[in-house]
Structure 1
Amino acid sequence: MKKFNRAASLVLMLVLAIVVSACGNNNNENQASSAPAGSAPASSAASSEAPADKPVKITFMNTKGADVQKLIEAAAGEFKKANPNITVEVISTGDGQSPVEMASTLYASGTAPALIMLDAGDIAKFKDKAADLSGEKWVADMAQPNQIDGKTLAFPFAVEGYGFIYNKAVLDKAVGGTFDPATVNSTSALEELFMKVEASGVAPLSIGSMDWSLGNHFLAIAYATQPDGDVNKYLDSLKAGSEKVADNAAFNGLMDTFEVMKKYNKAKNDPLAVTYEQSAAVVAKGEAAITFNGNWMFPELQKSNATGEFGFLPVPVSNNAGDKANSAIAIGATKQIIVDQTQNSEDQQAAAKKFLEWIVYDQAGQDFLVNKASIIPAFKNIQLEPKDSLAKAIKAYNNAGKSIPFAGNYVPGDHWKILGASMQKYLVNKTDRAGLAADIQDYWKNVK
Structure 2
Amino acid sequence: MKTQRTWMKLSVLSLIMVVLLSACGGGQTGTESNDGASSDSDVKITLLNSKAEINSQLEQAAKDFHADHPEITLEIVPVGNGQSPFEKASALYASGNPTTMMMLDTGDVEKFKDRVLDLTNETWMKDAVENSTGTTTFDGKNYAFPFSIEGYGFIYNQNVLDQAVGGTFDPQTIQTTAQLDDLFQKIAASGKSPLIISPMDWSLGAHYLGLAYGGQSPDQAQVQQFIANLKAGQVDLASNAVFNGLMDTFDLMKTYNIDKASPLSGTYERGPEVLGKGEVGLWFQGNWAWPQIHSFDTADGKYGFLPVPVSNNPEDFGNTQISAAVSKRILIDKEKSTPAQQDAAKKFLDWIVYQDKGQDFLVNQASVIPAFKNITLEPNDPLGKSISEYIKAGKIEESVSTLPADHWSKLGASMQKYLADVIDRGELAKEIQSYWTNVK
Q: Distance in 1 between matches of 2:42 and 2:217?
A: 56
Gaps of 5+ in 1: 1-29, 37-41, 43-49
Q: 1:201 aligns with which of 191, 199, 206?
A: 191
* 3-state SS in 2 of match to 1:289: strand
Answer yes or no: is the 8 Å Cα contact 2:31–2:340 preserved in 1: no
Instruction: Give the 3-state SS of the residue equivalent to 1:144 in structure 2.
Output: coil
Moved more, 196-205 or 120-129: 120-129
Aligned match for 1:268, one of 260, 273, 276? 260
The corresponding residue for 1:287 is 279
Matched, 1:153 2:143: yes
Task: Quote the offset at 1:183 in angstroms.
Answer: 2.0
**1:359 aligned to 2:352?**
yes
Pairing partner for 2:159 from 169, 188, 198: 169
For 2:9, the equivalent position in structure 1 comes to none
Partner AA of 1:332 in structure 2: A
Counterparts of 1:227 and 1:373 in 2: how far apart (Å)?
Answer: 32
- Counterpart secondary structure, 1:79: helix
1:53 aligns with 2:53: no
Give the Cα–Cα distance (whole angstroms) in 1 for the partners of residues 43 and 33 of structure 2.
Answer: 16
2:258 match: secondary structure: coil
Shift of 1:155: 0.4
* Contact 1:99–1:413 (8 Å) recurs in 2: no
The one-letter amino acid paired with 1:68 is I
CA distance in 2, matches of 1:275, 1:346: 48
The worse-fitting range, judged by mean Cα deviation, of 247-256 and 86-95 is: 86-95
- The answer to whether the Cα contact below 8 Å between 2:147 and 2:370 also exists between their aligned partners in 1 is yes
SS in 2 for 1:182: helix
| DSSP 3-state at the match of 2:319 | helix
1:144 is the counterpart of 2:137: no
Secondary structure at the aligned position of 1:276 is classed as coil
Deviates more, 1:309-318 or 1:372-381: 372-381
Who is 2:25 aligned against?
A: none
What is the alpha-carbon distance in structure 1 between the residues aligned to residue 130 and residue 60 of structure 2? 28
Q: Secondary structure at the match of 1:325?
A: coil
In structure 1, distance between residues paired with 2:80 and 2:268: 17
For 1:329, the equivalent position in structure 2 comes to: 322
Percent identical residues: 49
Which aligned pairs between 1:224-373 and structure 2 lie closer than 5 A?
224-226=214-216, 229=219, 230-305=222-297, 307-373=300-366
Report the structure number with the largest CA radius of gyration.
Answer: 2
Asked whether the 8 Å contact 2:277–2:297 carries over to 1, the reply is yes
What count of residue pairs does the alignment treat as equivalent? 402
CA distance in 2, matches of 1:94, 1:35: 28
**Quick check: 1:122–1:413 contact (8 Å CA) kept in 2?**
no
> Contact (CA 8 Å) 1:56, 1:347: kept in 2 or not?
no
Q: 1:150 to 1:430 in 2, by over 3 A?
A: same
Aligned mates of 1:77, 1:430 — CA distance in 2: 54
Query: RMSD of the TM alignment (CA)?
Result: 2.7
Answering whether residue 376 of structure 2 is matched by residue 383 of structure 1, we say yes
Name the structure 1 match of 2:32.
34
1:317 deviation in Å? 1.2
> 1:443, CA displacement in angstroms?
2.4
Distance 1:431 1:125, change over 3 A: farther
Calculate the TM-score normalised by the size of structure 2: 0.83
Moved more, 200-209 or 268-277: 268-277
Change (3 A) 1:234 1:86: same
Aligned to 1:46: none
Aligned position for 1:79: 65
In the alignment, structure 2 segments of 5+ residues that lack a partner are 1-27
- Alpha-carbon distance change, 344 to 369 in structure 1, aligned in 2, over 3 angstroms: same
Counterpart of 1:91? 78
Q: Is 86-95 or 377-386 further displaced after alignment? A: 86-95
